[in-house]
Each structure stands twice: as structure tokens, then as C-alpha cells.
Amino acid sequence: MKILFFGDIMGRSGRDLLLVRLPDLRRQLNADFVIANAENAAGGYGITPKICAQLYEAGVDTITTGNHVWDQRETISYIDKDARLLRPLNYPTGTPGRGVGYFETGGGHSVMVAQVMGRLFMDALDDPFAAIDHELNSVKLGQTADAIVIDLHCDATSESMALGHYVDGRASLAVGTHTHIPTADTQILPGGTAYQTDAGMCGDYDSVIGMKKEAPIARFTQKMPTERLSPATGSATLCGVYLETDARTGLAQRVEPLRIGGRLEPAWPTDLDC
């Protein structure tokens, strides 16, 4: 199976580029399933039902979020109605929405997608290790699910790496989001799980993690409140991960970074037409 995962969609710049490019990317890469983190898609803060519909129409199969999931208040009443919109699994019991989804591709493959949020430098949620353990104990990769993808929404790279190794051999891909910076450690772990500490963002990299530069710089240099941070609007780069899984085991056979457009050095799966 071939799966595409796109990191945090940051504001209109990243959103518009993904909406334009994704239909062709799905065809070029013959993707069976597409996942996108979109917790910053609505002006940098959260997501809306309208944006969900646009992403689904363009070819996204399921959406993950993170600590900004509730920034748009309409999401609170909407998320229970949309089985394809996920929030971190380790929110307390009773929180709206779901942290795991089970989906079927057009080719009849089953895909489990889950998300956990780290606790270092983040909100004090339930234990992400115990939360993902509970879910993985109820599904068998290569048997009850043809592929399992886990979004690790962490601020600390150490926590992402620890979670990646913790699920090694039990998931097809464990990939980080949240920091908006693509890391250079794309690899297949010893147990067969593909891993990257952060997929990077889909947004303008002439920025401070996707926000216009002036206000963040002023906050750092003057230690004074500034106007609300707003997304940079320049040329965006799409950042993500390309995954191929073994049809028998569900483990990773191949994983490569994707970087398309904008300011960053391009990255494209070798031996495939771009």
C-alpha cells in the first residue's frame, strides 16, 4: 500500500497549495490513502467544517489535529459528526471527538489512523504511551489492519523518538507533527516501523514556524505582548512523508520525505516521476 502523510497545514498559503497539488500528487504517486494534519489550517488556529470539506474534496482521506483542535469553537459541536476528523487520543474521557479511526481504501485495504499528543512542554493530558498501547492491543498489523499510521503530536523531539521506538513493529508509520520543521531522520526502525521525528509544515518557510516574522521576533527581543500572531502568506512548501508498506505484514518497505515548492530543498521519492 502507498500512503501519503502531510505535516501541519499552516494557514491559507499551505492550505491553498495542498488543495491545488494534491489531486495530481495522488495520481503521480499512486497513493492509496492520504492523511493531513490540519490543526493550523484556519488562519493558523484550528480547523473549520468548511476547510474539512475542501480537504476531503481535494483527496485527503482523514485529518489529524493537535493542541489547536479547539481554537475554532464550531469544531466542538462538529467533531463528533465527522468520523474522518481526529483529535489526540489521550484527551480525557468525555472529550468530544475520537483519537483513532478505521478506514477502508478504494482498493479494499484497511487503515487505522491514530494520534497522541506529547506531554513535555504541552498540556498535561493522559499518558500517550498508555493510550496508544491500549489501541494497539486491540488491533493486529497485517491481520485486522493492513496499515497503521500514528501521528505523534509532540513538542520535544525526545518524546517523539521514544514514542516511535515504543510502537516499533506494531505500526506502519509513526510520524511527528507540531514543530513545523521537517527533520532529516526519515528511517525504518529495527522492528519495521517507518519513522520521522517531524514531517514539517505545509506553509511559508519565510516565517517563524509559519507565522509572520515581525511579531514573534518582537516577543523574543522585547519581552512584551504584541498583536496576535498571523500566518505568513508567501510561497508555501508542502512537507510530508511517502510510505510503502508490505502487503503481508503491514510494516514499512520504503519511506521517504516529501518537500514540494516554496523555499526548501525539494525532496521526492527516488525513481518515481515528479
Cα-based angle 204, 27, 231 (whole degrees, multiple of 5): 15
CA distance 42 to 101: 22
Cell numbers 514514542 correspond to what residue? Answer: 163
Which DSSP string corresponds to 214-264?
HHHHHHHHH-S--SPP-B--S-EEEEEEEEEE-TTT--EEEEEEEEESSSS
Point out the residues that are catalytic: 68
Cell of 171: 505500526
Task: Answer for the pair 236, 263: CB distance below 8 angstroms, yes or no.
Answer: no
CA distance 210 to 155: 16
Q: State the number of CA atoms in the 13 A half-sphere of 158 facing the CB.
A: 3
Cell of 10: 499552516
Q: H-type helices in the chain, by residue range? A: 11-29, 49-58, 74-78, 128-136, 157-166, 214-222
* Strand pairing report for 2-6 and 33-37: parallel
